[in-house]
Chains A and B, each alone.
Chain A
Amino acid sequence: MFQKIMVPVDLAHADRLDKALKCAGNMGKQFDAEIVYVGVTAATPSSIAHTPEEFAEKLKTFASSQGETYGIKASAHAITSHDPTTDLDPTLLKAVDEVGADLVIMASHIPNITDYVWPSNGGTIAGHAKASVLVVRDK
C-alpha cells in the first residue's frame, strides 16, 4: 500500500518520539516500505551537532539503528534551514515532495489552547501535504 514513509525526527527530543517511531517501524515492515528519517537543523551549532555535516552523520546513524531494530530499509535526509523554529512546516512539506514519500508518520503533542495561534507541526503537515499523514499523539 505504501512504498516510502517519511518520518520527521527531532534528534534533541528523540525520547518523545517513541510511539511514532514504533508505529513507523512496524508499518514499514508490514508494507515492506522504505523509511526516510528527516531532520532539520540550523547552520549554527546546536545541542546535537557542531556543524550541519555532523548533524547529517548523526541522523544517518540514527536511521541505520532504527533500520536494524525493525528490520527495515531505512535512510536519512538532513535539511539545513535558516530559522528552523519558524520554517519547520514549509521545510517539511518540501521534503515530502523531495523524498517522494506516500505516507508521513509524525509525532505531535495533545492539542491545547496555543494550537489556535500556533498550530502544531503535525497538524499543519496533515493539513497541507499531498501524501497521507498519520499523526501520532505522544501520550
Chain B
Amino acid sequence: MTDATDDADQGIPAPEGVSDVIDTDYEIGQDNIDGSVGPFGFDIHNPVFLISGLAIVAFVFYTLALPEQAGAAFSWLFSAVTKGFDWFFLGAANLFVIFCLFLIVTPLGSVRLGGAEATPDYTYVGWFAMLFAAGMGIGLMFYGVSEPMSHFSTSMGGTSAEGGVRTDWAPLGAAAGNEAESIRLGMAATIFHWGLHPWAIYAVVALALALFSYNKGLPLTIRSAFYPILGDRVWGWWGHIIDTLAVFATLFGLATSLGFGATQANAGLNELFGVPVGPTTEVILISAITAVALISVVRGLDGGVKVLSEINMGLAALLLLFVLFAGPTIAILTGFVDYLGAYLQYLPALSNPVGREDVNFSQGWTSFYWAWWISWSPFVGMFIARVSRGRSVREFVICVLLIPSLVCVLWMSVFGGVAIQQVVQDGYTAAQEAPLELKLFKMLDMLPLTGITSFIGIVLVIVFFVTSSDSGSLVIDTITAGGKVDAPVPQRVFWCIFEGAVAIVLLLSAGGLSSLQSMVISTGLPFTIVLLIMCFAIYRGLVAERREL
C-alpha cells in the first residue's frame, strides 16, 4: 500500500473534500407541485408560492383601495419601528460587525464553502461585480452626492433644541460653523451608513445560506439556516412563514426601488434631453427596465446577470476615475485618507446604541438605514450565497465585508468630496440645493464633458436596476420553488413581470410607493431577530465543520 492510499484511508478529501452534511429525511422539492398551465411548465413550493403571491396582491389592493388609511397605518408603523427600536437595530448591527471580524481571526475562518477541496465557481472580478451590483450599486448613484452633502450642511448648521430634545438633523454634536470638521463629520457619518455595518448584515445572511446549502446539503432557501434550532420543524409552517417573509421583503423592496429608480432616471433624462417628467415616462422606463431584466433572467446567471454586472462595474469605475481626475484630484485623495480616519475616529460614537442626543440623525438616518439594509438582506444575501461556492469563510468575509466597505469609502470620498469642494471652494451651490434625484447631475454639470458623464450616469442608474431586478427574480424564484435552482424558466419570467407590474401600479397610485417603503422597513424588525439567530446557527455549523476536518 502506498502513502497516497494510506492518506485516502485517513480521510483525505475526495474530489470536493469533507463536509458535515446534515442528515435529514427531507427531500428537496417534496412539497412542490409541478405541472403546466397551458403550455407553460411550473415547479413551485406549494404554500410559499401561493401565500406570498396572494398576500402581495392583497396588499397592493389595500393600498390602492384605501390609500389614506393605508398611508396613515404604514407611516405609523414606520415611525414606531425606527424610533421605538433604534437601540435594537444599532446594537444588532454592531454585533454583526463584531461577529464577522471574529470569523476572520479565528480558525473557523478556514472552513471552505462547498467542502474542503471545493474550487471557486467565479473569478474575483465576476464575483465581486455581482455582489456589488446586487448589494448597493443603485444606492451609490442616489446618495453618493446627496448624503455627504446633507450631513455636511446640517453639521455646519449646528444644534438646536426644543424642550430638551434636539430638533436638528446633524450627526452627533455637530460642528457649528467649523467647515473642516463639518466635512469630516459629514463624511464619517456617510461612510458609517455604507461601510462595515451594511456589509456585515449581508455577510451574515449570505454566509448562513451558503454554509447550510453547500456544506450541509440543505435546500438553498432562508429556512435552512434555522435547521440547527428548529430541526425538522423547519420544513413545516415555521419555515413557510420565514420564506414567505423573505419573498415579501424582496419583492416589495425591489418594486419600491424600481419606482424610485424610474423617478431618478426620469429626472436625469429631463435634465439632459428635456424628456417630460411624469407617470407616462416612468411607466415606459419601468417597462423597459423589466424587459431588459427579462432577457437577462432568461439568459441565466452566467449569460445574463454576470455579464450585465461586469458591464456596470466597468462603467461605474470609469465614472469614478473621471470624477477623480476631472475634480480636484489631490484634495480628493488626501480627503480619502482623512475621511477614513474620521470614520474610525467617530465610529464608536456613531454606533453607540443607547443614550443618543442626536435623535433625528440616529433614528431618522441610522435606524432607517439599518432597517432598510436588513430588509434587503434576504435578497442580497441569497444572491451572494448563490455565487460564493468554493471560497473559504475567511476569504468570503474579507471580500464581502472589507473590500466593498473600502470601495464605498472611495466612492463617497470622490462624489461627495467633489460636491462639497464645489460649495466650499467655488461657492457653487446648485448640487446642495437640488432635489435628491438631481444632485448627482448638478455636480457633474461643473465638470467637463457634462453631456457624456450625465448620460453614463443615467445608463448606470438604469443598468443597476436591471441587475437588481434580474437577480431579485432569480432569488424569489428559488425561494418559491423550495430551494430548487432548476425550476422552469417561465417561473422566473413570471416573477420578473410581477415585480414590474407591482412597481407600476404603486407608482400610479398617490403615496403608494412610500407606504410600501414603510412596509419594507417594517419587515426589518422581525428579520433582525432572524439574523441574530443566524449568527448562532453559523457558529454552530462552522464548529461542526471544523470537527470533520
A interface residues (Cβ-Cβ under 8 A, vs B): 12, 42-47, 50-53, 82-87, 112-114, 118
Residue of B nearest to A47 (CB): B29
Do A82 and B302 form a contact, CB below 8 Å, given A43-B114, A45-B220? yes
Q: Mark B283-312, 1 if CB is under 8 A from A, else 0.
A: 000000000000000111111100000000
- Kindly identify, within residues 1 to 49 of chain B, every residue whose CB is under 8 Å from any CB belonging to chain A: 14-16, 19, 21, 27-30, 39-40
In the docked arrangement, what's the CA distance between A132 and B217, Å? 38
B486 and A85: CB pair below 8 A? yes
In the docked arrangement, what's the CA distance between A83 and B220, Å? 13
Question: What DSSP secondary structure best describes chain A's contact surface?
Answer: loop
Tell me if B389 is interfacial: C-beta within 8 Å of chain A: yes
Tell me if B214 is interfacial: C-beta within 8 Å of chain A: yes
Partner of A45, one of B300, B483, B492: B483
A51 and B300: CB pair below 8 A? no
A85 and B488: CB pair below 8 A? yes
Partner of A87, one of B29, B302, B389: B302
- Report, nearest first, the 5 A-B pairs whose CB atoms are least far apart: A86-B300, A50-B217, A83-B301, A47-B29, A83-B300
Partner of A42, one of B21, B217, B486: B486
Do A44 and B214 form a contact, CB below 8 Å, given A83-B301, A112-B39, A114-B40? yes
19 contacts across the A-B interface (CB closer than 8 A): A42-B485, A43-B214, A43-B389, A44-B213, A45-B218, A45-B220, A46-B485, A47-B29, A47-B30, A51-B217, A52-B16, A53-B14, A82-B302, A83-B300, A84-B485, A85-B486, A85-B489, A112-B39, A114-B490
In the docked arrangement, what's the CA distance between A85 and B220, Å? 16
Q: What's the minimum C-beta distance from B339 to chain A, rounded to whole angstroms?
A: 38
Residue of B nearest to A90 (CB): B303
Residue of A nearest to B387 (CB): A82
B484 and A47: CB pair below 8 A? yes
B121 and A43: CB pair below 8 A? yes
Chain B interface residue count: which class? 35 or more
In the docked arrangement, what's the CA distance between A84 and B486, Å? 6
Do A51 and B301 form a contact, CB below 8 Å, given A45-B220, A46-B484, A85-B487? no
Q: What's the minimum C-beta distance from B182 to chain A, rounded to whole angstroms?
A: 48
A114 and B19: CB pair below 8 A? no
Partner of A83, one of B15, B30, B389, B485: B485
B389 neighbours in A (Cβ, 8 Å): 43
In the docked arrangement, what's the CA distance between A12 and B27, Å? 12
A114 neighbours in B (Cβ, 8 Å): 39-40, 490
Residue of B nearest to A13 (CB): B34
B interface residues (Cβ-Cβ under 8 A, vs A): 14-16, 19, 21, 27-30, 39-40, 114-115, 121, 213-214, 217-220, 298-304, 386-387, 389, 483-490, 492
Q: What's the minimum C-beta distance from B118 to chain A, rounded to whole angstroms?
A: 8
In the docked arrangement, what's the CA distance between A118 and B490, Å? 10
Do A83 and B302 form a contact, CB below 8 Å, given A47-B29, A113-B39, A114-B39? yes
In the docked arrangement, what's the CA distance between A121 and B214, Å? 28
In the docked arrangement, what's the CA distance between A86 and B218, Å? 23
A45 and B486: CB pair below 8 A? no
B30 neighbours in A (Cβ, 8 Å): 47
Q: What's the minimum C-beta distance from A137 to chain B, rounded to whole angstroms?
A: 16
Partner of B28, one of A45, A82, A85: A45
A87 and B483: CB pair below 8 A? no
A113 neighbours in B (Cβ, 8 Å): 39
In the docked arrangement, what's the CA distance between A40 and B490, Å? 20
A45 and B213: CB pair below 8 A? yes
Do A82 and B301 form a contact, CB below 8 Å, given A43-B114, A47-B28, A53-B16? yes
In the docked arrangement, what's the CA distance between A73 and B301, Å? 36
In the docked arrangement, what's the CA distance between A44 and B485, Å? 8
Residue with the greatest number of chain B CB neighbours at <10 A, chosen from A12, A45, A53: A45
Residue with the greatest number of chain A CB neighbours at <10 A, chosen from B21, B40, B298, B485: B485
Do A86 and B298 form a contact, CB below 8 Å, given A50-B217, A53-B16? yes
B28 neighbours in A (Cβ, 8 Å): 45-47
B16 and A86: CB pair below 8 A? no
A52 neighbours in B (Cβ, 8 Å): 16
In the docked arrangement, what's the CA distance between A45 and B21, Å? 11
B485 neighbours in A (Cβ, 8 Å): 42, 44, 46, 83-85
B39 neighbours in A (Cβ, 8 Å): 112-114
Residue of B nearest to A88 (CB): B486
Q: What's the minimum C-beta distance from B236 to chain A, rounded to whole angstroms?
A: 18
A45 and B114: CB pair below 8 A? no
A118 and B489: CB pair below 8 A? yes
